[in-house]
Structure 1
Amino acid sequence: MTSGKNASAFGKSLKALGLSLASFLAVAAAPALAQDAPAAGSYTPMKPTEGVGMPVPEGLGLQDQYSKIGEYGAWIHNDVLLPIITIITLLVLILLIVVMVRFNRRANPVASKTSHNTLIEVIWTLVPVLILIGIAVPSIDLIAKQYKPAPKGALTIKVTGNQWFWTYGYPDNGDFEVVSNMLNVPGQPTINNGVREVGSEPWDGPSHLEVDNRMVVPAGEPIRLQITAADVIHSFAVPSLWFKLDAVPGRINEKVLMIEKPGVYYGQCSELCGAKHGYMPIAVEALPRDKYDAWVLTHPGAVIDGQKPAAAEAAAPAADASEAPAADAIAEAE
């Protein structure tokens, strides 16, 4: 009789041990599921459009602009500064020609002794002042717009310049980082070991400008870029977005970037930062918000707008639920 009770108790204990082991495996698997869940997003790099966001052969003037501030800056350059400097240059050229023709020694052997002309002196003093005021008003307005603080809730991306590559951090999306290196050029010495060659993927852009991992951002919304450097001074510059800001070690410089429409936009470090200064390009890929979120979810530990994806949150209740059978089994065994 005693042996039967002992056998029954042993069987219950063995059953409880088995249930506890199953529960333990379920709990252990839950964090792995939560970590793998953000990788459920999908992302295929965007193929750049020829001539958009990049330099073009025999190009003259500024690149086409794809931000509101860039359009404003291009308007000041093309419609304000160029006409003014053209008129001034032509005026000075005409005056020089007139002086050379009418007042040379052969045409005017007796030089004039006039030393002052009040009207002319007032004109050539006031006109340059008015011209400078006309230039200063839109110029100061452009500077103020460029350094206007980011609105509350704007996405923050941290850019770090290194010798000789860029690192992009996404603190608002789970604090993951993306390392961006220039692609190697076929037939030329290897610049970055372990990095593929440009042209090996259908979405690659121009050589010396394309990278292995682009800085991906959402299009149509303000982005707070916080820029610094890990070693020497770099400069983050993308001409088609009217964006340039120095990356200084030990200091964070901040500026707002807003890209009007999706696309791929290229730039380069514009500070002499060492031997490979010419080999640290910038590639910014602007995506619609839904596609940007999908790209974010391809990174472990990613969050969207401060919230974990539903797939990751679902793993936590599953882990909690798995603890209940274990407790019941232990109680039954006792």
Structure 2
Amino acid sequence: MANHSQLGFQDASSPIMEELTQFHDHALMVALSICTLVLYLLAHMLTGKLTSNTVSAQEIELVWTILPAMVLIMLALPSLRILYMMDEINQPDLTLKAIGHQWYWTYEYTDLKDLTFDSYMIPTADLPLGHFRLLEVDHRVIVPTGSTVRVIVTADDVLHSWAVPSLGVKTDAIPGRLNQTSFLVNRPGVYYGQCSEICGANHSFMPIVVEAVPLANFENWFSLSSS
């Protein structure tokens, strides 16, 4: 669910999250380079090595005009690329509808005979041994690995947000409006998320659990669930 040091992002399990992690590292290196340059200039100014006699005002103006423009380009180009990848949904293999309620989720597999179920958090007293407190649910979202899943997100009462960090997904659920996002899970596993919008007193008690399984296992699960 997270790395052993408990620092940084959760392990990426989708192509989008891998891109977001790489962009984060890229932006961090740009920020580190700027801080290093500024500290270098400050040190030279304090020691008297950099004064108005050694550097002309015209040179300084060129530097602080061209350098920020280059930094913005270095950040904008990969950022726009990732935004396009996140918004582009071409021929999804599966459509899932997530409806937020106070305080649980309802899921509909609209492509598969309208399979519908509610997903509630398991109370701590009923939690099986070894499961995560406040994160486990009674009915998980089952998706096939290697398939593009389109998620249509909405809400029934107030604002919610369907978010699974390791999949790079976070979409607001707004009453009367349909938002959509997509993800593709690289490997089998169980991925946890939570509602990321302050939606009331029990906001912290409506987790999201996505279980990715091979396609054959998904078909077996669906045949059992729909029978």
Question: Could you state the TM-score of these two structures normalised by the residue count of structure 2?
Answer: 0.92
CA distance in 1, matches of 2:36, 2:154: 44
Larger radius of gyration: 1
Consecutive unaligned residues of structure 1, counting only runs of 5 or more, are 1-53, 104-110, 187-196, 302-334
Indicate whether 1:131 and 2:77 are aligned: no
Match of 1:265 in 2: 191
CA distance in 2, matches of 1:112, 1:253: 56
Aligned residues: 226
**SS of equivalent to 2:98:** strand
2:17 to 70, 92, 95: 70
2:107 to 168, 173, 185: 168
Match of 2:6 in 1: 59
Match of 2:36 in 1: 90
Deviations 1:290-333, CA, capped at 9 Å, x for gaps: 111111112245xxxxxxxxxxxxxxxxxxxxxxxxxxxxxxxx
Which protein has the bigger helix share? 1
Match of 2:213 in 1: 287
Indicate the RMSD between aligned Cα atoms, in angstroms.
2.1
1:229 to 131, 155, 173: 155
Given the superposition, is the C-alpha separation of residues 292 and 211 from structure 1 closer, same or farther in structure 2, using an over 3 Å criterion? same
**SS of equivalent to 2:63:** helix
Do the aligned partners of 2:122 and 2:138 also contact (CA within 8 Å) in 1? Answer: yes
Do the aligned partners of 2:190 and 2:212 also contact (CA within 8 Å) in 1? Answer: yes
Given the superposition, is the C-alpha separation of residues 58 and 134 from structure 1 closer, same or farther in structure 2, using an over 3 Å criterion? same
The 5 Å alignment of 1:145-294 reads 145-151=85-91, 154-186=93-125, 197-200=126-129, 205-294=131-220
CA distance in 1, matches of 2:8, 2:135: 20
- TM-aligned CA deviation for residue 213 of structure 1: 0.7
Consecutive unaligned residues of structure 2, counting only runs of 5 or more, are none
Do the aligned partners of 1:157 and 1:170 also contact (CA within 8 Å) in 2? Answer: yes
**SS of equivalent to 1:297:** helix
Structure scoring higher RCO (CA < 8 A, sep ≥ 6) equals 1
Deviations 1:77-134, CA, capped at 9 Å, x for gaps: 11x111111111122223333334439xxxxxxx969996111111111111011011
- TM-aligned CA deviation for residue 276 of structure 1: 0.8
Given the superposition, is the C-alpha separation of residues 113 and 94 from structure 1 closer, same or farther in structure 2, using an over 3 Å criterion? closer
Do the aligned partners of 1:156 and 1:223 also contact (CA within 8 Å) in 2? Answer: yes
CA distance in 1, matches of 2:110, 2:226: 13
Q: Counterpart amino acid of 1:198?
A: L
Q: Counterpart amino acid of 2:211?
A: E
CA distance in 1, matches of 2:55, 2:77: 36
- TM-aligned CA deviation for residue 139 of structure 1: 0.4
